[in-house]
Structures are given as structure tokens and as C-alpha cells.
Amino acid sequence: MSLNRRQFLASTLAVTALPRFALAAPHPLRAEPVVSQILDAGEGQTAGFGFNGSTPGPELRLRAGERLSVAFENNLPDPTAVHWHGIRIANAMDGVPGLTQEAVAPGGTFDYDFVAPDAGTYWYHSHHQSWEQVARGLYGPLIVEEATPPDVDHDITVILDDWRLEPSGKMAGDFGNMHDFAHAGRLGNFAKAILPEITVNRGQRLRLRIINTATARVFPLALDGIAGRVVALDGRPLPEPRDLSQVSLSPAQRIDVIGDVTDTVRFLFPTPEEAFVMGTLEPGQDPVTPREAPVAALPDSPRPTPSDSPRALTLRMQGGAMGGQHAGDDIWSFNGVSGLPDSPWASFDRGETARLRLVNDTAFPHGIHLHGHHFHEVNEDGSPGDLRDTTLLMRGETREILVVFDNPGKWLLHCHMLGHQASGMKTWVEVA
Ligand code: C2O
Ligand code: CU
């Protein structure tokens, strides 16, 4: 299914403000059914899942090095668990049923308690039947602030998502649709940027924390109305801010942009013909003189240095519709094995560096996510490049990633097109 013009929401209304609460231990976090205004105001509402009464759930904000303590309660009719995506977390808090904890039964509770070591833009989401629960809205932003945050006028979280809705606003069912699983996943027919209701002004400097929470859609993104630079990918600072031309965000990927408002800030979904407006920030009537200082790199945080002689392994994505390779028992596989094997795909000594060659032998893009670690995408010249927690491989593409496995535990490695994960494209590694 592709997006057509009428299906797109080009609303300038901020439909869902992101609620937030200040750090106080422990945060109550309730997963529960919610009704939200995904369509324009005045149109039908959508029943789904959320946290503390809303989807996206509350923005959780803390400083790097602080402890987050969450009293989680499951008020859903189904079991669930919360994963803290991108955080280098203690393994027992990673929220993966079957690997790090039991799913929390309806009416049950679980205490999540961890230190967030690295500043950056992260998010939390269900990791149980995630292809359905995340599509229903069970996610929220997790923001870890720098000890000395950059000088900006507004720090704005922007969520890109798409939903498969009936004209009434009702969410289409059929979450486990095998046709979706075997193709690109559950692509929505409505997409938008969820923005807070705030007034910006020309000349003001903004930090935009953009998160793709969709279960399947790769968002191409362009911005106008802001002279901005990309300062972080998947929460990790770039050594030098980078030009903001068109970028793509795989499901689960994030980018941080800092820049100065020049006009209406528009979040655009470019297509070969035309760009669709996914959301806007309208400037108010109080322009200010822009800062003279150019956008600087964010402060870096310590990161392990990969060794020069990494262990080399290959992970081949196989299967799916129009796939040439045998795919294991299910629709998708890694190296011919579908789903979580009893023993890990690979075991590493703590601190060991591995170079994983990811080969996309399928007809679809995959966003491959490793839990509990960041990794370098390896540049063409072989040098360690951008640090990420999720890497996007287009059809036929191969990429090497360099990982220092320094976080002990059992860690999932899977496709973040969540229908692909559900139908086989996942495995796990163990770090002793
Ligand atoms: Cu964003 Cu395995 O998760
Ligand atoms: Cu995939």
C-alpha cells in the first residue's frame, strides 16, 4: 500500500501534545487502552493502546548518569513488557519476554530500574507482540539530557508514525496479516509528525528530536523553514554536525537536528512528484535575532574503542516474498534460522570486538537493531563510521558493523520492521 495525497494528513494542528512529567522516583507507568485523536480534530477518534492515558506515552526525561525507576503496571487485556530502546542498560531491565523477563500478565506489575549512561534521544515501547502493540500505540519518548545541554530556545520531540485506519478513524485489525509480514510489513495509510503545541519564533534556535516509531515504514524526511544541522543519530552525537538534506529513518531510528527558524518549519515526506507535509511548527509574531554561534557538535560521552582485529561473522537476511533463498521454518530468517534459537547465535567475551557483515539477501529493506549496545556502521574505506543502534539495509545491500560487546547479558538482534521480527527475523547473542 502506498500513501496517496488524500490519505495523508497535512494538518497544521498539533493533534497530540506529548505529556511529560518530571523525574521523581518511581514513575508510575500504566499500559492501558486509550482513545486518541489521530485524524484531524473533529474527525473520528481511534481506540488503541498507550501509557498513562495517552499515545505516545509520557515523555520520560532524565540527565545522563541518572537512575530511572518505573513502577510499571499492565492494565491491558494482554501480556506486555517495556523495552528501553537504545539504552545501554543492565540486561535484566531490557524488557524482552522470553529472554530477560517473563511478560507482565494483565493486572501484573514490574519494576524497571536502571541508569541511563548516555545522553541522547531514545524511546520505549512494548516488546511483546510488538507488531501489534506498537502499531496500536504502545510507545513513548525517553530523553536523556546532556549534563550541559546545548543552547537552544526549544527542545522539541517529534514522533513520525503511520497508522492503518478506516475512514471512521477506527484502527484496521488484521495485525498478524501474513501478506504484510512477507512484504514490507504493516504500512499505514495515514502518516504524520506528532508535535507539541508550542509557539516558536523566527530566529529562535530549536533542537528537534525526531523518532520513527512506525512498525514498518521507512520515513524519508526533509525539513524546511529551519536552517538546521544534524547533530546526532540514534541518540549518539556526531563528531561534526552534518548538512541536513534529505534523510531516511528506519523504524526505531532517531535523528537530532539543531537549527534556527527561518519560516514555518515543515516536516516533509518527499516523493519523486511532490512533498507531503506531515506536520508544521508555525512561527509566532515575535521574531528574534538569530544566534551568531554556528550549531556546534554535542558533547561526546565515553565510548569503547573497537579493537583492530575484530572477530568476523556474517548475518544473512533471507526469505520473504520474492526472496531467492530458503528462509528457515518461518517467513524470514537469519542464516537460515527463524526465530529465537535455544542457544545464542554467537557468544562473546566481555569487551570483545566483532565485525558483523549484514547481508540483505531479500527484496525488502530491513532495519537491524542490536539491544544493549551501540555499534559503528563501517565506512567504505573500512574505518568505523556513525554510531547507531539500528541500521537500515535496503534490498540487496550489505553493510558491516563494528560492535564492542562490553555489556554482559543476553541481547536480541532483530529486524525492527516488527512484522519481520514476528515472522522469524530475530536472533540473540550472549556476552559473558
Ligand atoms: Cu526497539 Cu527489540 O526493539
Ligand atoms: Cu525486516
The pLDDT of residue 7 is above 80 = no
The CATH number of the domain holding residue 423 is 2.60.40.420
Split into its structural domains, the chain has a count of 2
Query: How many Å lie between the centroid of ligand 2 and the Cα of residue 200?
Result: 37
- Helical (H) or strand (E) element with 311: strand 311-319
Residues 247-290 pLDDT 10s: 999 999 999 999 999 999 999 999 888 899 999 999 999 999 99
CB 332 within 8 A of CB 180: no
Q: Which pLDDT belongs to residue 421? A: 97
173 is a domain residue: no
Q: Whose CA is nearest to atom 1 of ligand 1?
A: 85
Of the candidates 37, 63, 8, which has an alpha carbon nearest to the alpha carbon of residue 197? 37
If you measure from the C-alpha of residue 416 to the centroid of ligand 2, how many angstroms do you get, rounded to a whole number? 6
95, 106, 141, 136: which is closest to 120 by C-alpha? 141
Q: Which of 119, 146, 173 is the last residue of a domain?
A: 146
Domain membership of residue 46 (yes or no) is yes
pLDDT at 259: 98
Give the end of a domain, one of 146, 170, 193. 146
Cα–Cα distance measured from residue 372 to residue 430, given in angstroms and rounded to the nearest whole number: 11
Q: Which residue has the CA at smallest separation from atom 3 of ligand 1?
A: 85
**Is position 39 within any domain?**
yes
The rounded distance, in Å, linking the Cα atoms of 146 and 301 is 9
Residue 205 within a domain: no
Pairwise CA distance, residues 311 & 376, whole Å = 15
Whole-number Å distance, alpha carbon 29 to ligand 1 midpoint, is 19
ipTM: 0.98
146, 177, 204 - which closes a domain: 146
Structure confidence at residue 325 (pLDDT): 67
325 in a domain, yes or no? yes
Domain membership of residue 48 as a residue range = 20-146
Measure the CA–CA gap between 297 and 146, rounded to whole angstroms: 12
Percent of the chain with pLDDT over 70: 94
Which residues sit with Cβ closer than 5 angstroms to ligand 2, an ion?
366, 415, 417, 420
- Global pTM exceeds 0.90: yes
